[in-house]
A and B are shown apart, each in its own frame.
Chain A
Amino acid sequence: VQSLPGGPAVRQLNLTSPATKIAEEQHFLHWMMLIICAVIFIGVFSVMFYSIWKHRKSRGAQPASFHESVAVEVAWTVVPFIIVILIALPATKVIVAQKDTTNADLTVKVTGYQWKWGYDYLNGEGEGLSFISTLDSSQRAMSDSGDVSQAPADYLLRVDNPLVVPVGKKVRIITTANDVIHSFAVPAFGIKQDAIPGFVRDTWFRAETVGDYYGQCSELCGKEHAYMPIHVKVVSAQDYTNWVGEQKKIAAAKLDDPSKVWTLAELMARGEKVYAANCAACHQANGKGAGPIKPLDGSAIVLDEDHAKQIQVVLHGRQALGMPSWSQLSDTDIAAVVTYTKNNWSNKTGQLVQPAEVVAQRGK
């Protein structure tokens, strides 16, 4: 395989090459530490190995009898103390810069889900855009197969919908999570911020060059922890504007009229896609669930005549069981996927759930 620009390089030895000022500062700090520590290390261990060489019994060394020296001991307490202060100073400067999330040009809320990322553009150009980003499913399947001989350079890093941001603009990332703690990390930007359910945290970056940058979820979040990559596409201001325009159009088209009445076949076709993209990771394609995850095939709630029960579970999740809330899906998507589960596998209920029912349940 080849190195992936903006992502890991083959046999990479140092930090990922920086695409922001902060990441550059981190490079500097790392080199500084490396040099200071190497000097101390070589100094200290030259003395030790010299002594090992010189003061061996086999060379006839006679033991000296000193075992104390206040002067020396004070000296080697004070000197490390001073060194520590010296390395703390530049670090302090960088922390303060890292933490300054004010005056952002663009604010994006990043939500960690098990196991995907949700992006909501809150402020700035593109406000209102909102989408979910998941790992390419063929790569996920390749991982399971265990055979990676055909793996591409972006193996486990390719997503369906990358986060797109303009170059040279200060982007504030607000993280939160829906279920458990995740962590949003992009090494080239020098950022890593835990996404904590129920709380918001923030960080920021200003990408200096156009390109693709990659990261991975960096907090253990369950079984698919290794499979929720981050792909940030940094584009020029013009490209960004175009992209936003395009997305707005697609979003408008997607925003199905929730009062539309669908046929079973239509809902099944759509539901299958929604299921594969969102539900199959846990409940499995065969609907049998796995481990603690409940099966849908044959489930009483799924078979129930009362559609409200299942819609509520989908909307609000069952946190205790690990089922997240899916309220971010559109009404039509939820209606489709519920219909799909009610009529797939051995579940042949013939029940049809229309988007209007989901709308009605949302309020409750």
Chain B
Amino acid sequence: MSATTHGTTPYYYVPAESRHPVMAAIGLFFVILGAGQWINGHEWGKYSLALGLVWWLSVLYQWFRDAIRESESGLYGRKIDLSYRWAMSWFIFSEVMFFGAFFTALWWARSHSIPALGSLDNQLLWPDFKAVWPSAVPGATGSPAGIVEPFETVGPFWLPTINTALLLSSGVTLTIAHHALRADQRSKTIAFMWLTVLLGFIFLCVQGYEYYHLYTEANLKLSSGIYGSTFFMLTGFHGLHVFIGMLMLFFITLRLQKGHFTAERHFGFEGAAWYWHFVDVVWLALYVLVYWM
């Protein structure tokens, strides 16, 4: 079914054939091909990766452009709005499970593998290993084989705490923006959206600075045994999600400036906001489990 030409909202809009899906898949083909080769030492891999990413992103751009056009021309009825709500909720649920895997890894390492490696029985293999989690005692590396260079662990002060404050306030500014949108105060909405994006951006800068500091001064690296592995994996994937969330908010703000969304109907906005709050909650979990404990 092609787009309706006479402007009434169909019961449930079904887009016409589209080349975006197959093109996006081709882009991702080059991404995985390139990534897989590059990490195995084939230099050409990175060109394939870059090509694939650019390709994929440009397809996504066109895809979203079409969707936005359809939305703005009134093709999306109430039903579709509800579909998007369901979809976004389930997508966020899948993300929760994804982070769940890494939080599980942290929990398992702390409360199972490290204690087991240092247990009485395991002295047969690692006679000198003391089962302490690196953040519990200075100097501990959590490496039974002693293959990990000494490193400093990260506590909550001060960068992570500042970051917590940044993210929490970004949640607040976002909510203010949302209320403003609902009250049809567009310029206020836009102002607070920019503020939210900015807070997210500062968060990433602080995070980047922290990484830089850890790598250069604290000697804490991805390769610093299980502590470094879980630390960087959790914070790194969280950072990536902040980045994605920030991009979402950024584009939503641009759309607001273009006059998209209405006080009543603005699921694009809400979806991005849900995502942002989800990223926020993950951070709180990280803040407690990774930095405090």
Contact = CB atoms under 8 A, between A and B. Distances in A.
A194 interface: no
B121 A198 contact: no
Nearest to A200: B121
A202 B121 CA distance: 9
What class of interface size applies to chain A in its complex with B? under 10
Contacts of A202: 121
B117 A198 contact: yes
Interface of A: 109, 122, 174, 176, 198-200, 202
> Which of A109, A199, A202 neighbours the largest number of chain B CB atoms within 10 Å of its CB?
A199
Contacts of B117: 198-199
Interface in B64-107: none
Interface in B196-231: none
A203 B49 CA distance: 49
B292 to A, nearest CB: 29
Contacts of A109: 124
A198 B125 CA distance: 7
A199 B116 contact: yes
B185 interface: no
Contacts of A199: 116-117, 122, 125
A95 B104 CA distance: 28
Question: Lowest 3 A-B CB distances belong to which pairs?
Answer: A200-B121, A200-B122, A200-B124
B124 A174 contact: yes
A362 to B, nearest CB: 16
A103 B122 CA distance: 18
Contacts of B144: 198
A199 B122 CA distance: 6
Contacts, number: 19
A109 B124 CA distance: 9
B127 to A, nearest CB: 12
19 contacts: A109-B124, A122-B124, A174-B121, A174-B124, A176-B124, A176-B125, A198-B117, A198-B125, A198-B126, A198-B144, A199-B116, A199-B117, A199-B122, A199-B125, A200-B121, A200-B122, A200-B124, A200-B125, A202-B121
> Which of B116, B121, B126, B144 neighbours the largest number of chain A CB atoms within 10 Å of its CB?
B121
Interface string B109-136: 0000000110001101110000000000
Contacts of A176: 124-125
A274 to B, nearest CB: 25
A141 to B, nearest CB: 34
Contacts of A174: 121, 124
Contacts of B125: 176, 198-200
A198 B122 CA distance: 8
Nearest to B144: A198
Nearest to A197: B125
Given A176-B124, A198-B144, A199-B116, 4 more contacts: A174-B124, A199-B122, A200-B124, A200-B125
Nearest to B126: A198
A163 to B, nearest CB: 18
Nearest to B113: A199
> Which of A122, A174, A198, A202 neighbours the largest number of chain B CB atoms within 10 Å of its CB?
A198
Nearest to A120: B124
A198 to B, nearest CB: 7
A176 B116 CA distance: 13
Contacts of B126: 198
A74 B125 CA distance: 54
B261 to A, nearest CB: 50
Contacts of B121: 174, 200, 202
Contacts of A198: 117, 125-126, 144
A202 B116 CA distance: 13
B109 to A, nearest CB: 13
Contacts of A122: 124
A320 to B, nearest CB: 12
Nearest to A122: B124
A176 B144 CA distance: 15
A109 B122 CA distance: 12
A156 B116 CA distance: 35
